[in-house]
Structure 1
């Protein structure tokens, strides 16, 4: 009888010890959340906030089954909704890399050696805490819950059966749109547990690539909302590169040289690319953006109707490390529009100067961007009381806009020989082996039937031909 009572006492002692250990582990986890300083903003993130609430609830004296399962599932759904294949660790690493905080903003502009050592220590401590948070497994959470929730067997089985948030482990970043530099930093964190030692790696990344959305995306579109505008990062920008083009090498060389000066911190000009449709003006700007993105160049596309937002855009980017090309596609104005005065002001002569890290590249099918009327020129010698007295001033004002671009590059429609050279070059790049005479005859028929001779028409013809070859094989 005494031995039986002794075994019972030992059993209760073991239970109390396990509960004490669970309580300590939960308090340590919560401690990692509460001690965040530089990355304090993480606690406002929906996923991190739900994870904190889940752990904090289990830490209660008597957690209830129904409340626990609700909090658990809310966190799980929020996590997989962010990226259906991301693990918790991947999510936290991504948040670290693209977070804008006092450290990342400073590291974007200063070398690591010049950053205050106390700030570096605070970042190091935070990174170690974030590693502990990212390493929490669904199995551990369920184990903590089972030791604290005194429920029925059915409820305990339900807890064990809750979905796990550990998916197939990956050694590389799950988002293919990330840059090479980003993938390197990501893997440094994913493959190591000593996150506190990665502060310099992060700082060097920010110094070269910028931080926040400018580290994550290389191309943006300016969007307008009721309460103002914002930069929307493009997840999958047009992947076109300069090596993809055939023809117009001299025209592109002018744009390339100007862009290289810009990214190297030398004086550079705004550029107007004008000419016939389908000659590759817009594609040239996109390719320039892709070619120099790893050198810190970012493209911001702004529609003509949002030109009045130029001052707001410039204020968002003027103090950043990256270089920005504001891209306005298919630019032209009706004679009644006044928004062109905003563009004139930004190009040259505004009260708020265009910062050194911003250039404007625009494309247009018109050499003179503002439409004129014969009646305006007639007004130079008109006796009509309804005509403008200073008609010449109006004409000069309209002509002056295009002159404010430092460089103007002309893209004209190719002649027959140039068109066929583009067709043959694209066919060779695609690995399409067909008779040259047949290719030329079909290309001529295509341009007669469709959009005339242009680089775009040549590409459309090759797309059709490649698709036909695939179907025939």
Structure 2
């Protein structure tokens, strides 16, 4: 792999950063925005914010939290893909590479392009406050704070990003202080949106949207049986049902 210094940050629609180097990605794999249903309010706000950043005007870092499989990561990828490469590129890094963010900021700060950094499924171990404090500093106020041409999109299962598993021996004041410290990281994100498990009607609506788009002949009964067998209703489960239905009909699907 080429060194990060050799990376051409000007042309590819997306990149993957491994902590010391980047590789370009020819295409962002994401569903079309119109297929992300059941999350209309979140979709509208994320797209508007990412679009503002692409235009070079004021925009927020984004924290998307909540139920698994409801389209948090797909929404970020889809929003960037929808806006096209042009002046905006997606840069994905794993949560265990956060310590390398200052080096990435150095790489990108002088590039004449806007970047959307994407960290999927962020979490910290219970009691780990050093990691969240470092990220808070990078987001706002520290000498290594992210440049103006960069914004972050983070997904997590927890609103506070950290699970609440405090030592029972801690005093109530210590627990309150620790909880405040954890929430302080989430407060650094200007746009925080929750994603919640969908009800039956929403689930069936997601399935129907996919089926119409791909020309599949499905039944609500089949979709509900699939969800029952999976033990969940979500956008991910709906997509898995569509994949199964397409496979049975001998069809190919993107991605």
1:450 and 2:230 equivalent?
Answer: yes
* Contact 1:240/1:283 (8 A) holds in 2: yes
Cα separation, 2, equivalents of 1:346 and 1:258: 20
User: 1:231-380 counterparts in 2 under 5 A?
Assistant: 231-337=22-128, 338-375=130-167, 379-380=171-172
Alpha carbons of 1:312 and 1:463: their partners in 2 closer, same or farther (altered >3 Å)? same
Q: TM-score, normalised by structure 1?
A: 0.49
What is residue 222 of structure 1 aligned with on the other side? 17
Distance in 1 between residues matched to 2:166 and 2:21, nearest whole Å: 40
Q: CA RMSD in A?
A: 2.0
Q: Deviations over 1:207-245 (max 9, x none)?
A: xxxxx6223311111114xxxx01111234314331332
CA distance in 1, matches of 2:193, 2:96: 24
1:294 CA displacement: 3.2
Q: Which has the higher helix share?
A: 1
Matched residues in 1 for 2:86 and 2:27: separation? 19
Is 1:429 the counterpart of 2:213? The answer is yes
Structure 1 gaps of 5+ residues are 1-99, 101-211, 382-389
The equivalences for 1:112-151 within 5 A come to: none
Unaligned runs of 5+ in 2: 1-5
Match of 2:189 among 405, 413, 416: 405
Q: Contact between 1:247 and 1:422, CA under 8 Å: does it hold in 2?
A: yes
Q: Which has the larger radius of gyration?
A: 1
CA distance in 1, matches of 2:101, 2:243: 37
Higher RCO, 1 or 2 (CA under 8 Å, sep at least 6)?
2
Structure 1 residue 429: deviation in Å? 0.6
Secondary structure (helix, strand or coil) at the match of 1:334 reads coil
> How far apart in 2 are the matches of 1:377 and 1:400?
23
Structure number having the greater strand percentage: 2
Q: Supply the distance in 2 between the matched residues of 1:235 and 1:294 (Cα, whole angstroms).
A: 10
- Structure 1 partner of 2:3: none
